[in-house]
Amino acid sequence: MYTISDTWMGAYGKAHYRDWNGQFLSFEADKETYMRTNTLPGTVATYAFIIVLRGRSTLLYSGREITTERNHLFIYMPGFPISVKDVSEDFACLCLVADEAFTAGTPSIRNAVRSALLPIFEMRQPVVDISPEESARLNSLIRMAGDYLVSENPLREEMIKNLYALFLMDLSSILSQRTQHGKFGKRAEELFMDFIHLLPQHYVHEHGIEFYADALNVTPTYLSRVVRQVSGRTVVEYINRLLLMEAIWLLENTTLSIDEIAERINYADSTTFGRFFFRMKGVTPREYRKSL
């Protein structure tokens, strides 16, 4: 996966802020800026929170078409493929983007992001309709973090961490009113979120549930049961969806042969990869590429 710095520099060719450490971004985007998402290679190791200020957009996120409009909050999870299909001319949004390692490495933020994101999985979709008052409050926190990014304050990094954690806690409070948060038990919820954090780092090379269960110190049966209980999906569904999106991106955006793509995503040979792709898409990889 690519970092914030990789993707931002690839799209814009220069750092967004002076003395920027590449861990955190806060900015307002218009149609042109938003469409640059499509120039980014592969998947990104970041969390992103996007509040639509005006206009409308249509995204393809992890194989699903999603529409966002004013006072919608869209949440991007690390490792999930995304592209922008359509954006209205008047589109504008406010974006908070945080590096996955920065998020996971700060205990207060890690706990806050877990509380904030679990309800998203319970609702089975990454877009939340928030009230104008909730939108204004979250927007103010994003803009304040952006102010500190360009400030000379010697404690700016700590202030940014605190504002990020506050944003996530506020978001968690908003989402908890829309779901029965906590109904699965703390241990199950923590295990599920740990699986979700682990998956994008390893799915290309590790296709079996045993690897993830071992890494999380639980049995495959227990991990499978918890993931299905919390999300309604199986571990294999999560792995296969990411593998399919990676394969599609490679077919569409590279000149790699089918054999090379199979090797890239750790299939034994192109025949095994072809069977997987056909089962998921209903066409062979070669047929899919010819249709582009």
50: left (phi over 0), alpha (psi -120 to 50) or beta: beta
In terms of domains, do 76 and 140 share one? yes
Q: Look at residue 103 and tell me whether its pLDDT is greater than 50.
A: yes
Q: With cut-offs at 50, 70 and 90, classify the pLDDT of residue 120.
A: low
Same domain, 25 and 155: yes
pLDDT for residue 70: 96
Of 29-33, 51-55, 144-148, give the range with the top mean pLDDT: 51-55
> Given a cut of 80, is residue 208 above it in pLDDT?
yes
Task: Inform me whether the pLDDT recorded for 205 exceeds 90.
Answer: yes
Mean pLDDT, rounded, for 174-189: 69
Query: CATH code at 147?
Result: 2.60.120.280
Q: Percent of the chain at pLDDT above 70?
A: 85
**Domain total of the chain:** 2
198 or 68, higher pLDDT: 68
Measured distance CA(177)–CA(271) in Å, rounded: 48
Pairwise CA distance, residues 277 & 144, whole Å: 45
pLDDT at 134: 95
pLDDT at 27 over 80: yes
Q: 77 and 172 in one domain?
A: yes
Residue 79 has a CB neighbour count (10 Å cut-off) of 25
CATH code for the domain of 226? 1.10.10.60
Question: Do both 171 and 29 map to the same domain?
Answer: yes
Mean pLDDT of 260-273: 95
Three-class secondary structure of residue 46 per DSSP? strand
Q: Do 279 and 211 sit in the same domain of this protein? A: yes
Q: Is the pLDDT of residue 177 over 80?
A: no
Read off the pLDDT band of 238 (50, 70, 90): confident
Give the least confident one: 11-20, 83-92, 250-259: 11-20
Q: pLDDT at residue 24 above 80?
A: yes
* 218-243 mean pLDDT: 89
End of a domain among 176, 208, 226? 176
Q: Please say if the pLDDT value at position 180 is more than 70.
A: no
Q: pLDDT at position 123, please? A: 47
CA–CA separation, 68 and 59 (whole Å): 8
Out of 157, 176, 195, a domain closes at 176
Last residue of a domain, one of 176, 204, 229: 176
Specify whether 35 is located in the same domain as 125: yes
The stretch 219-234 carries a mean pLDDT of 90
Same domain, 215 and 170: no
Task: Report whether pLDDT(174) > 50.
Answer: yes
Average model confidence (pLDDT) for the chain? 85
Task: State the residue range of the domain holding 143.
Answer: 4-176
Let me know whether 193 and 122 are in one domain.
no
Residue 46, amino acid:
T
Whether residues 84 and 166 fall in one domain:
yes
DSSP secondary-structure letter at 44? B
Give the CA dihedral 68, 74, 77, 80, nearest 10 degrees: 10
Residues 136 and 255 in one domain: no
Q: Are residues 163 and 270 in the same domain?
A: no
**Is the same domain home to 88 and 139?**
yes
